[in-house]
């Protein structure tokens, strides 16, 4: 049976293969281990295998794990799930990153609620590229306005873009979406200081995302096994 350490090694190798296939520089893609629904013992197993960046989707669950693991001070905790506006305070007080900023109201609240003795909260803007009505995220046309607003918030540090492209689309549709995302990212990088994160790619579309410029893949199942 494969251990979490084995599966992490495999995931890192797959990432480096995809990077090489795309003729990009080695180690240019970070691995976020998505530990949602998994026990704290799985996180410590991954930590012992050298993993430091973890993603959680559910606020209460994430905060509970952060508190249980607070002696591991070099873990970087990323919130990647939807955020209700009445929960922003918990997020601002515990996480290092929020990748799922999907409306201006959330950014404003996080900025106001980030404690003064903590470093600025790293944020990514979550894009809704397929313009799916059911999906959270900013439409590309709204991006300049929210970028400008976040850039003026002292307790947030804008790092880039995040997206969850639709699964079950044709390969050409997938390529179109990833190309559009990369173009928006390149434009953002050219016009804004400190942009270094294009968070796209999960267990099933990691290689394609890396071929289209992803700098951070978010991997759950391939590391921790399937979720019930
Ligand atoms: C669950 C989740 C992941 C990880 O997905 P896997 O298919 O298990 O790799 C990545 N990103 C987000 C936003 C998620 O909710």
CA-based angle 82:144:168, to the nearest 5? Answer: 45
Helix or strand holding residue 174 (H, E): helix 171-191
Site to substitute for ligand 1 among 30, 162, 220, most atoms within 8 A of C-beta: 220
CA 117 / ligand 1 centre spacing (Å): 31
Phi, psi dihedrals of residue 120, rounded to the nearest 5°: -55, 145
The model carries a pTM of 0.97
DSSP codes of every residue in 16-44: HHHHHHTT--TT-SEEEEE-TTS-HHHHH
Instruction: Check pLDDT > 90 for residue 83.
Output: yes
Q: Which atom of ligand 1 is nearest to the CA of 162?
A: 13
Our answer on whether the CB atom of 138 is closer than 6 Å to any ligand 1 atom is no
Helix or strand holding residue 61 (H, E): helix 59-68
Instruction: Check pLDDT > 80 for residue 132.
Output: no
- pLDDT value for 133: 66
Overall average pLDDT of the 139-160 stretch:
97
Overall average pLDDT of the 31-55 stretch:
98
Which residue minimizes the CA distance to atom 10 of ligand 1? 218
CA 217 / ligand 1 centre spacing (Å): 9
- pLDDT value for 186: 98
Look at residue 152 and give its three-state secondary structure.
coil
Burial of 74 (0-12, 13-18, 19+ CB in 10 A): exposed
Q: Which atom of ligand 1 is nearest to the CA of 222?
A: 9
How many percent of the chain have pLDDT more than 90?
93
Q: Which atom of ligand 1 is nearest to the CA of 202?
A: 9
DSSP state of 95: -
Site to substitute for ligand 1 among 4, 33, 34, most atoms within 8 A of C-beta: 34
- pLDDT value for 130: 81
CA 128 / ligand 1 centre spacing (Å): 16
- pLDDT value for 167: 82
38, 57 Cβ separation under 8 angstroms? no
Overall average pLDDT of the 46-71 stretch:
98
């Amino acid at each position: 049976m494969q251990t979490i350490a084995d599966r992490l090694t495999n995931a890192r190798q797959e990432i480096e293969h995809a990077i090489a296939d795309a003729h990009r520089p080695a180690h240019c893609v970070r691995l976020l281990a998505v530990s949602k629904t998994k026990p704290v013992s799985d996180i410590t197993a991954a930590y012992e295998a050298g993993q430091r960046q973890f993603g959680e989707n559910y606020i209460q669950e994430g905060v509970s794990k952060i508190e249980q693991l607070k002696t591991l001070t070099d873990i970087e905790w990323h919130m990647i799930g939807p955020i209700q506006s009445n929960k922003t305070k918990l997020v601002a007080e515990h996480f290092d990153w929020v990748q799922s900023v999907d409306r201006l109201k959330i950014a404003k609240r996080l900025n106001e609620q980030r404690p003064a003795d903590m470093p600025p909260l790293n944020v990514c803007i979550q894009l809704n590229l397929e313009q799916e009505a059911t999906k959270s995220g900013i439409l590309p046309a709204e991006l300049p306005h929210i970028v400008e607003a976040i850039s003026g918030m002292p307790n947030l540090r804008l790092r880039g873009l995040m997206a969850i492209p639709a699964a079950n689309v044709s390969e050409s549709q997938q390529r179109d979406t990833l190309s559009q995302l990369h173009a928006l990212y390149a434009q953002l990088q050219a016009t804004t200081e400190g942009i270094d994160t294009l968070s796209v790619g999960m267990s099933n579309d990691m290689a394609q995302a890396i071929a289209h410029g992803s700098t951070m893949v978010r991997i759950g199942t391939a590391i921790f096994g399937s979720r019930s």
